[in-house]
Amino acid sequence: MTTIDTNTEAAEMPERDPNAVSITINGRTVEAQKGDLIIAAADAADEFIPRFCYHPRMSPVGMCRQCLVEVEGPRGPMMVVSCMTPVAEGQIVRTDTPQVKRAQEGMIELLLANHPLDCPVCDKGGECPLQDQAFSHGAGESRFVEEKRHYEKPIAISELVFLDRERCILCDRCTRFADEVAGDPLISFTQRGNNTQVMTFPDEPFASYFSGNVVQICPVGALTAQPYRFKARPWDLEQRESTCTTCSVGCRTVVQSSRDELLRYQGVDSDPVNWGWLCDRGRFNFQSVNSEDRLESPQVKSGDSFETTSWSAALDTISRTIRHATPGSVAILGGARGTNEDAFMWAQLADAMGVTMRDAQLDDGLPASIFNYSQATIDAACKAATVILLAPDLKEELPVLHIRLRDAAEKKKIRIIEISACETGLTKHAWRSVRAESGTSVTAVQQLMADPVVAAQIASGSVVVVAGRANLAEGAEHTMAAVDAVIAAVPTASVLPALRRGNVRGALTLGLAPQNGNDAVSILEASANGHVECLILLGADPMNDVADADLARRGIAGARFVVAIDTFLTQSAAHADIVLPASAYGEKDGTTMNLEGRVTNVVQKITPRGTSRADWMIAAELGFLLGHDTDVTTLADVQKLMAKKVAGFGTTTTAVAVKRDGVVVSIPTPTRTAFAAPTIAARNSYEFRVDVSRKLYDRAVGTITSPALVNLAPGASVTIHPLDLERVGAAEGANVRVSNNHSSIVLPVRSNEKVPRGTAVVPFNQPGADIRELVRHGDSVVDVRIESM
Amino acid sequence: MARLTEENVRLAREIIGRYPKPRSATIPLLHLAQEQDGHITNDAMAHIGELVGATSAEVYGTASFYEMFKFEPVGKYLINICGTMSCALMGGEELMHHAESRLGIHMGGTTSDGLFTLEKAECQAACTEAPCLQVNYRYRYRVTSENFDTLIDQLQAGELNSEIPAHGTVASVRQHIPADRGVGAVAPEDVTEGPAWLDGKAAL
């Protein structure tokens, strides 16, 4: 035994973390942090305590009492609820004594008293915490011989979620999620005592964009999702961890399938990104991959219809067309829906062919120079002193980013300053929310910055600007100039680009960004004027997505030859000369980049539909035919080439593939691109300025081909202030004529006092009359007249 | 179905003003709605939600916890007959049978003229006066079948109007705090001094 010299020991000891707490769990010393709950400390130490209501991403409630443990107290061991008891220095916790076991068995018996034990017909059976813990921590028998509670089962509490109240153990997870996380407390405990039940308000469904999460976190089979009900047994599911590419937040998921069919996505907790949550659109659009309408083989236009052709014939025709085209007359639109590898290989091919007309966006985002500002991550935004929103309603476009910012604002970690034309999902969580009608956001920013209270807030710490295209009837230069106005005032501010489409940042970073300002609008304009001899649509559907419908039509019609590479015969693909079937999400491996530049992997879980191929394979094959062979045969080859050619990708593409949180690819030297504030013409007092914004559910191809989601789109309408409605002289819900000098459409009118006077809100890309007919890309803002009929 | 009337909305705003957080007024406003319609309608709950900044589901969740909030129309007079032990021993059971036959309805039912609703109640804490009942929560003690008949006759004749207001009426005298008498609504987290009623004296 060595003698310890206490003096030197103390001198050498590193200073102890003042927040560190040392406790003993089952005789083992465990380090925890001040404020940690016993159950969390036990989890970290791999000591499992059974639980139903505790969820690490929600506040503890001590509802189910299953996590009872013994804590040594002054009067001997005491039973405490480990999800409500914080750790304390020297605390002695036992989770394995006979008393604890007896208490936990008792709780299981009580919870099962009213539970129907219909496991054989329950979707949750096989992955059910109640079932599992009844086996692991239950007595195996019940003394309850009386009649159990009976309820009608199951009842639909929304279009997507079913509730079986007999199975419910009242753990408060779903109701807590709805209130705390989603901010949609549309379900609540109702009644009392033995009749307590989770319920919606009569005739007011649980229509939350996040409703699928309650199904995932339900510890019993009480909540089931319509798209998965009775589709599979958990033990028949195979799964791989992946990243959702529905929008650019890049939530971590597991993709689950059975018999080569996608059946379910579940959220995975990635700390810097989604915390385990998913939006319903991302969760349930797996149905689209399974759709009957998927393209299965190459199609060639023959008269007014398509004929099936072979890949070799199709690619041969395309390569011949490109070879015979005038140099500089080939254009590529899209690429934001694929993987990094897809975008990279198409960019390589474009470089080799000398294609200068390329754009991964369809005039529905912001110029790629938004990446030239100092960049922020989601975490950085959630820790900033001030977050300035110059973005669309994040709840509608980037739902899980909305959840993260809402959480940070609710917990008073950040102060949100919002500049928007209308109220958004974050308005009630904002510290300041300023209404700036379309075309005035730069002025609004300047006015805000001049306010001494705002200036003091901004000076109090870091500033993150969340920047995105809020209004598709307003030129992107307005947002860019507003962002620039913030950066001019606060040079240390960083930017989180809120561009929406799945891999838009990856595609722009990997070479599909416009060259020399030749963006989608000018490409389509060139095409309309007959300067495009081959237009390649990489999962792009300009006829559906370009805000200027007339331009999209003219652009597609003007191209001499159109190649569409897509999963479905979209509106634009229907006008193509050749359509190539692309593999969808879940059918190909690769990497993707989220809005903060984080590279994570996406995985293949099922066989690609028909003869469909990944976009990168098509690019490689076409390159070979055109004499630009890249010598690439596998995905690993692509990633090797990518690592060689793209800065920042060296370490990420291969090593990252298996890592949950991915790696943020940083932009080496941030530079500022100054955008001048555009001047706008004054409008007549009888005119309305249009705000065209997206809703979560629209006519996007992944949504309309998912049966569970297709009916959730709210439909086209125009919403104005009630006093404006009076002035127009129309009744609520009546049809009105919306017109300007470009066109005229008929839409049902609604009123909402939250819409500012003089503003008309029209959702984008909804079933019904199309506002895009009134939008021209040259118009910096869009003004319309609204007349009753 | 009825939202709160204009007069009641004015009252509701006054009630909300008494609390630091609008949500705290949920239950008083539910009483107001029940007073207005005799029971609580879905529209009223939705309206209360708008007024206090809660969803209808949250208002419903709160309201449905309480036995005395009714969600179906009840009679002008809600008669709760105690069925717990002391009353049951002293003839409560027989009283219920008699009430059912006199009014021609079962327990839980409402007479077709909308005047009476019968309910079986748990202990009303008047065991020494068993069997007891309540009419709109006003006590009647040692009730015999004859007493019951007299009570019904009197109610039908309107003889007890001053004593027993219609169902939902919380009190015949409404609380009113003049603006200059209120201490004002301060959120708990903003309170730095002792309670106002201590009038500057040190807290105990």
Contacting B with CB below 8 Å, chain A residues are 184-192, 199-204
Q: Do B42 and A203 touch (CB under 8 A)?
A: yes
* A186: closest chain B residue by CA: B57
Contacts of A190 in chain B (CB under 8 A): 60-61, 64-65
pLDDT digits (tens, 9 = 90+) for A591-629: 999 999 999 999 999 999 999 999 999 999 999 999 999
Which of the four pLDDT bands, split at 50, 70 and 90, describes residue A667? Answer: low
For range A660-675, the mean pLDDT: 77
Peptide bond into A154 cis (omega under 30): yes
* pLDDT value at A122 more than 80: yes
- Give A560-595 pLDDT, tens digit per residue: 999 999 999 999 999 999 999 999 999 999 999 999
Residue from A201, A428, A753 whose CB has the most chain B CBs within 10 Å, to mutate? A201
Please determine, for residue A435, whether its predicted confidence score (pLDDT) is greater than 60: yes
Q: Which phi and psi (to 5°) does residue B18 adopt?
A: -80, -10
ipTM: 0.88
DSSP category for residue A742: S
Interchain CB distance below 8 Å, B65 and A191: yes
Over residues A661-666, the mean pLDDT reads 84
**Residue B181's pLDDT band (cuts 50, 70, 90):** confident
B55: chain A residues, CB-CB within 8 Å: 184-186, 188, 201
Nearest to B57 among A188, A191, A192 (CB): A188
Query: Residue A755 above 90 pLDDT?
Result: yes
pLDDT at B18: 85
Per the CB < 8 A criterion, the answer to whether A401 and A595 are in contact is yes
pLDDT at A334: 96
Distance, CA of B116 to CA of B122 (rounded, Å): 19
- Chain-chain contact of B64 with A202 (C-beta, under 8 angstroms): no
Does position A108 have pLDDT exceeding 60, yes or no?
yes
Helix axes B145-157, B92-103, angle to 10 degrees: 40
For residue A671, pLDDT beyond 90: no
Alpha-carbon distances, residue A29 vs A10, A13, A90, A488, A748 (angstroms): 21, 19, 9, 53, 67
Closest C-alpha to A286, from A297, A298, A294, A275: A294
Report, as an integer, the average pLDDT of A203-209.
96
Give the residue on B whose Cα is nearest the Cα of A197.
B61
Q: What is the mean pLDDT of residues A54-71?
A: 96
Token reading at A209: 């964009």
Residue that has been written with the tokens 């408060």 in this structure: A172
- As a whole number, the mean pLDDT across chain A is 94
Mean pLDDT over residues A643-647, rounded? 87
**Contact flag A202-B65 (C-beta cutoff 8 Å):** no
Strands A330-334 and A305-308 come out as: unpaired
Mean pLDDT along residues A300-307: 95
- By C-alpha distance, the chain A residue nearest B62 is A190
Does B55 contact A191 at a Cβ distance shorter than 8 Å? Answer: no
- Chain B residues in contact with A188 (beta carbon < 8 A): 55, 57-58, 60-61
Taking the model in full, what pTM does it have? 0.93
Residue A4 reports pLDDT greater than 50: no
**How confident is the model at residue A86, as a pLDDT?**
96
Report pLDDT digits (tens) over A131-181: 999 999 999 899 999 999 999 989 999 999 999 999 999 999 999 999 999
Nearest to A615 by CA among A245, A329, A62, A139: A245
Residue A289 neighbours by CB under 8 Å, 6+ apart: A262, A567, A584, A585, A586, A587, A606, A609
**Closest CA relative to residue A210, chosen from A179, A234, A165:** A179
Tokens read off for B35: 């007073």
Contact B61 A190 (CB under 8 A): yes
d(CA A678, CA B200): 61
Mean pLDDT, range B21-42, rounded to an integer: 94
Residues B21-32, mean pLDDT to the nearest whole number: 94
pLDDT at A3 over 70: no
pLDDT band at A646 (very low <50, low <70, confident <90, very high): confident
H helix or E strand, kind and range, residue A664:
strand A663-664
Asked whether the bond before A714 is cis by omega within 30 degrees of 0, the reply is no
Across the interface, of B42, B57, B64, the residue whose CB is closest to A186 is B57
Shortest distance between the Cα of A453 and any Cα of chain B, in A, equals: 21
Task: Count CA atoms within 13 Å of residue A248 on its CB side.
Answer: 28
In this predicted structure, what is the pLDDT of residue A778? Answer: 87
Contact B57 A187 (CB under 8 A): yes
**Interface probe with A: pick from B26, B39, B41, B65, most Cβ of A within 10 Å:** B65
- Cβ distance of B61 and A186 shorter than 8 Å: no
Nearest to B58 among A185, A191, A202 (CB): A185
- pLDDT range class, residue A6, cuts 50, 70, 90: very low
Report the pLDDT value the prediction gives residue A351, as an integer from 0 to 100: 96
Mean pLDDT of A184-191: 96
Question: Any idea what DSSP says for residue A13?
Answer: S
What amino acid occupies position A457? Q
Closest Cα in chain B to A188: B61
CB contact under 8 A, B57 and A191: no
| Whether pLDDT at A495 is above 90 | yes
| Mean pLDDT, residues A30-36 | 95
pLDDT of A654: 59
Q: Which two tokens stand for residue A217?
A: 């976190």
In which element (H, E) is residue A104 found?
helix A98-113
What pLDDT sits at residue B2? Answer: 85
Q: Which residues on chain A are in Cβ contact (under 8 Å) with B64?
A: 190-192
Q: What's the gap in Å between the CA of B67 and the closest CA on chain A?
A: 9
| pLDDT the model gives residue B183 | 65
What is the Cα gyration radius of chain B? 21
Q: What is the pLDDT of residue A10?
A: 47
Closest alpha carbon to A326 in A302, A347, A304, A357:
A357
* Alpha helix ranges (H) inside A393-475: 394-397, 399-410, 441-450, 452-459
| pLDDT tens-digit map of A367-387 | 999 999 999 999 999 999 999
Structure tokens given for A482: 């507003």
Percentage of chain A with pLDDT > 70?
97
The share of chain A scoring above pLDDT 90, in percent, equals 90
- The chain-wide mean pLDDT, for chain B, equals 90
Q: Are A472 and A458 in contact (CB under 8 A)?
A: no
pLDDT for A13: 59
CATH numbers and ranges of domains, chain A: 20-96 (3.10.20.740), 299-365+503-664 (3.40.50.740), 368-497 (3.40.228.10), 688-788 (2.40.40.20)
Compute the distance between CA of residue A207 and CA of residue A129 in angstroms, rounded to an integer.
26
In the predicted structure, residue A686 carries a pLDDT above the cut 90: no
Considering only alpha carbons, which residue of chain A is nearest residue B46? A201
User: Residue A198's closest chain B neighbor by CA?
Assistant: B61
Phi, psi of A691 (to 5 degrees): -115, 105
CB nearest A185 (choices: B42, B55, B67): B55
Compute the CA torsion angle A24, A27, A31, A35 (nearest 10 deg).
-30
CA B113 from centre of chain? 21
Q: What pLDDT, on a 0 to 100 scale, did the predictor assign at position A112?
A: 96
- Annotate A470-514 with three-state secondary structure: CCCCECHHHHHHHHHHHHHHCCCCEEEECCCECCHHHHHHHHHCC
pLDDT number for residue A651: 60
Pairing of strands A534-538, A330-334: parallel
Q: Which residues pair with A305 in a beta bridge?
A: A302
* A chain contacts of residue B42, beta-carbon cutoff 8 Å: 201-203
Pairwise CA distance, residues B190 & B204, whole Å: 21
Q: Phi and psi (nearest 5°) for B51? A: -70, -35
Q: Nearest chain A residue to B60 by CA: give it.
A: A201
Beta-carbon separation of B58 and A199 below 8 A: no
Residues of chain B contacting A, Cβ within 8 Å? 42, 45-46, 54-61, 64-67
The reported pLDDT for the residue numbered B124 is: 93
Residue A181 DSSP code: I
Chains A, B: CB pairs < 8 Å: 42
Q: Helices (H) and strands (E) in chain B — how many of each? A: 7, 4
pLDDT tens, residue by residue, B79-128: 999 999 999 999 999 999 999 999 999 999 999 999 999 999 999 999 99
Residue in chain B closest to A428 (alpha carbons) equals B53
Backbone φ and ψ of A86, nearest 5°: -75, 155
Q: Quick one: what percent of chain B has pLDDT higher than 90?
A: 76
Q: In what order do the strands lie in the sheet with A20-25?
A: A28-33, A20-25, A92-94, A68-73, A76-81
The minimum CA-CA distance between B111 and chain A, rounded to whole Å, is 26
A403 Cα to chain B: minimum distance (Å): 19
In chain A the first and final C-alpha atoms are separated, in Å, by 98
Q: Quote the tokens at residue A427.
A: 């308005």
Cβ-Cβ contacts under 8 Å, A184 against chain B: 55
Q: In chain B, what residues touch A186 (CB-CB under 8 Å)?
A: 55, 57
Residue A71 has pLDDT above 60, yes or no: yes
Cβ pair A429, A408 in contact under 8 A: no
* Strand A386-390 with A463-467, pairing: parallel
Cβ of B64 within 8 Å of Cβ of A186? The answer is no
Closest approach of chain B CAs to the CA of A753, in angstroms? 13
Domains belonging to chain B, first-starting first, are: 6-63 (1.10.10.1590), 77-157 (3.40.30.10)
Determine contact, residues B93/B120, Cβ cutoff 8 Å.
Answer: no
**Per-residue pLDDT at A678:** 78
pLDDT band at A8 (very low <50, low <70, confident <90, very high): very low
Q: Which chain B residue is nearest to residue A184, measuring alpha carbons?
A: B55
- Given an 8 Å threshold on Cβ–Cβ distance, is A199 in contact with B42? no
pLDDT score for A666: 73
In three-state secondary structure terms, A189 is strand
**Nearest chain B Cα distance for residue A192, angstroms:** 5
